[in-house]
């Protein structure tokens, strides 16, 4: 009897864990990466509701509640595609620094201290406020830092050096496993890959990571390093 109850409890945890992951995936990648206010609220409530059956016996009502929450989240995210929705649920960007000068009123309105602002600037490689042209507090809570022209990192374009475009590196082998979908993106197949590896006298199992640029046919291989 006790074993049966224990097994049901484990099954309940596993199913709720799996359902929560599926729902978060269904809600979109922005929920994890950008975390808007309605994303944060949805995540907190989903976590709370999903844990409820672990201390009670209400399982099906919890699943229904989770589905309602996901539907509400999707509706809110669709609503923020419109100007009114963006202003209401996301807010607008706030300028914190303009032309190297801290905008005190905007800092207070955003409830950001000068110490916090300076800390963020230092962590991004700008120890002095005068090095920065603009700092914008984005609706998702991140700060966009725009340095002054003289403090902008030097690029190839600045040096007027011509370089060939390398293209996007697409993984064809990860941890000894062939990535067939990525080979299709490159208009290649498994036979082509095996032929290239044969030329290099290396087996799939010896590869930790290998990629091909979408601009060339060159295969770059990273072998496994055996621990000593």
Model confidence over 82-95: pLDDT tens digits?
777 777 777 778 89
Q: Give residue 67's pLDDT.
A: 81
* pLDDT surpassing 70 at residue 100: yes
Q: Are residues 18 and 71 in the same domain?
A: yes
Q: What pLDDT was estimated at residue 172?
A: 92
pLDDT of 228 higher than 50: no
**Residue 73, token pair as written in the block:** 């989240």
Mean pLDDT of the chain: 78
The CATH number for 128's domain is: 3.30.240.20
pTM for the structure as a whole: 0.54
Q: Are residues 70 and 32 in the same domain?
A: yes
Alpha helices in 28-179 (DSSP H): 30-33, 37-51, 60-79, 83-85, 104-110, 114-123, 156-159
Mean pLDDT of 56-76: 76
What is the per-residue DSSP string for 139-171? TTS-EEEEE-GGGSPP-HHHHT--------EEE
Q: Which domain holds residue 118?
A: 94-151
7, part of any domain: yes
Instruction: Give yes or no for residue 18 having a pLDDT over 80.
Output: no
In this predicted structure, which of 68-77, 98-107, 206-215 has the lowest mean pLDDT? 68-77
pLDDT band per the 50, 70, 90 thresholds, residue 21? low
């Amino acid at each position: 009897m006790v074993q049966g109850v224990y097994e049901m409890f484990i099954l309940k945890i596993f199913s709720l864990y799996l359902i929560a992951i599926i729902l978060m995936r269904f809600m979109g990648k922005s929920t994890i990466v950008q975390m808007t206010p309605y994303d944060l609220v949805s995540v907190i409530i989903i976590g709370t509701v999903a844990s409820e059956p672990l201390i009670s016996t209400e399982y099906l009502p919890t699943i229904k509640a989770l589905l309602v929450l996901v539907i509400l989240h999707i509706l809110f995210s669709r609503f923020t595609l419109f100007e009114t929705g963006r202003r209401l649920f996301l807010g607008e960007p706030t300028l914190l620094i303009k032309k190297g000068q801290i905008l005190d009123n905007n800092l207070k309105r955003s409830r950001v201290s000068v110490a916090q602002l300076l800390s963020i600037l230092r962590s991004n490689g700008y120890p002095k406020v005068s090095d920065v042209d603009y700092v914008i507090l984005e609706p998702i809570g991140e700060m966009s830092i725009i340095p002054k022209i003289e403090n902008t990192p030097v690029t190839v374009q600045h040096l007027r050096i011509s370089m060939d475009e390398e293209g996007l590196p697409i993984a064809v082998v990860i941890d000894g496993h062939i990535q067939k979908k990525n080979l299709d993106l490159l208009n290649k197949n498994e036979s082509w890959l095996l032929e290239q590896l044969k030329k290099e006298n290396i087996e799939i199992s010896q590869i930790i990571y290998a990629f091909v640029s979408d601009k060339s046919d060159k295969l770059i291989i990273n072998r496994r390093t055996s621990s000593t």
